[in-house]
Chain A
């Protein structure tokens, strides 16, 4: 009786005996994925759509574009977007290239074996070491009485705060965000570099390719999609990050997630609908980054064929 097999699609869709009509089967097809879809709908998709719709409404529910326009016209909001985009973009780009350099060094650089496993283990930890504790660690290091700050001041007579160093500047936050951005890149890109077969290098060399040709025409095209995908991930990662920056300055720092945080907590912008618009803007930016990635990836894949 092979008919017992419910798991075989071909058998399951074979003309069934009358008492096993297809109408009876229909719910069982979906029952396994139903909790997942209901959960995703209720707690991921609908709440997000709720904000998106709210971004285009006045308090009384009528349609308006005012909230969206205010994102651009209100200088404190548009500048917060700008600062956030700058921080996320540069921390993603610098993190990506630094992570790539470290990954290449440990995979291809001829370093002893322990460097690879140590780096990968550490990267797994550091990529998840974000938020408030990360800020605390940097304050203990480079804060006004931090260990490195005082060492530099007492030993080398360099006062970094007099030189304009501050965590609350764009570059200060980028330097801190790199602490989780670089390891995340390492964790994701090392498997991609591992995927480069040794034979390809030998084949290229046999065909007379120089080292730079090998890199340009073999290595970069192969790791490019996962590299770019990770850059987008790093961007979104930094764009939504709030706890680290909040620990440095509380609500004072003008980046989008902190702006939204204050707005949710106390309607500091005196327009409840504006919060929806800020959230909508955040989704649009991370969403656009992903659309850009998908578009680029399909292009590069076509080129690879």
Chain B
């Protein structure tokens, strides 16, 4: 047992070193822009860059639309499968796992060829269409996470009783989903939403191939042309990811553990 504990410490410390040395070195590097002293110059330049602001804003808006689209697609489907069509569950689970198997670059390649400006559905024929296609692509990428989050949330509430109670009170389907089910799984939906945000915000492949002015292509451009700014951007990106994950953890404390408790 004693040696077990020793090896556990060794593993933990080696692991911590592998993960913390690059992060600390990146912080240190990002502060070195002014010769000889530590300064926040790199951060100031990055944050003051008009292109940073516009691309970041673009990606934030894309992420918000992605989350809305994901919720509109996933919540009714997950709810309906729990309520009425449990036999479809394996098929839906399989489909939601596909984006983990099919690489993003393949999916976006399919879009480019299928929805080009000469196709019957010319998404890429207009600017707005291309933006929509980017949001759609992001929603596809987030499908595995969104579906699992929502399904876990639905598991903790008694979908059937809630639905029946709402129906007895005369509620229609939109009222049931919008005002009964959604508020009950809101925390689960928000966890999925923050994860989606973290994935989407710096995404490069889809944004670049669809030629959108998003944060990912901007990062690539800075990375190829600057020395210290990329390090600052890496720290900013890490902080954003950390923020999203912390929000998920905080939210999970408010989530109901199980609604089907006997008491």
CB-CB under 8 A from B102, the residues of chain A are 44, 48, 283, 286
Q: How far is the CA of A147 from the CA of B227 in the complex (A)?
A: 13
Interface residue ranges, A against B (CB under 8 Å): 4-9, 29, 31-33, 35-37, 39-40, 43-48, 50-51, 54, 98, 101-102, 104-106, 108-111, 115, 119, 121-122, 124-126, 128-129, 131-142, 145-148, 178-179, 182-183, 233, 236-237, 239-240, 242-243, 246-247, 250, 257, 260-261, 264-265, 275-276, 279, 282-283, 286-287, 290
CB-CB under 8 A from A110, the residues of chain B are 1, 4-5, 8
Q: Is the CB of A128 within 8 A of B245?
A: yes
The residue from B76, B104, B249 contacting A240, defined by CB atoms under 8 A apart: B104
B39 within 8 A of A: no
CB-CB under 8 A from B223, the residues of chain A are 132, 135-136, 139, 247
List 13 additional A-B contacts (Cβ < 8 Å) besides A50-B114, A140-B22: A32-B80, A32-B173, A33-B77, A43-B111, A44-B102, A45-B98, A51-B109, A102-B11, A109-B5, A110-B4, A136-B219, A147-B28, A261-B205
Q: Is the CB of A35 within 8 A of B72?
A: yes
* Chain B contacts with A in 66-106, Cβ cutoff 8 A: 72-74, 76-77, 79-81, 83-85, 88, 92, 95, 98-106
Interface string of B98-125 (1 = CB under 8 A from A): 1111111111011111100000000000
B23 within 8 A of A: yes
Q: Interface SS of chain B: helix, strand, loop or mixed?
A: helix
Q: How far is the CA of A257 from the CA of B139 in the complex (A)?
A: 21
B224 within 8 A of A: yes
Q: How far is the CA of A279 from the CA of B136 in the complex (A)?
A: 20
3 smallest beta-carbon distances between A and B, as pairs? A109-B8, A47-B110, A32-B80
B58 within 8 A of A: no
Q: State whether A109 and B12 are in contact (beta carbons under 8 Å apart), knowing that A44-B107, A240-B104 are contacts in the complex.
A: yes
* Chain B contacts with A in 230-247, Cβ cutoff 8 A: 230-231, 233-234, 237-238, 241-242, 244-246
CB-CB under 8 A from B227, the residues of chain A are 145
CB-CB under 8 A from B74, the residues of chain A are 36
Interface string of B4-32 (1 = CB under 8 A from A): 11011101100100110111011011100
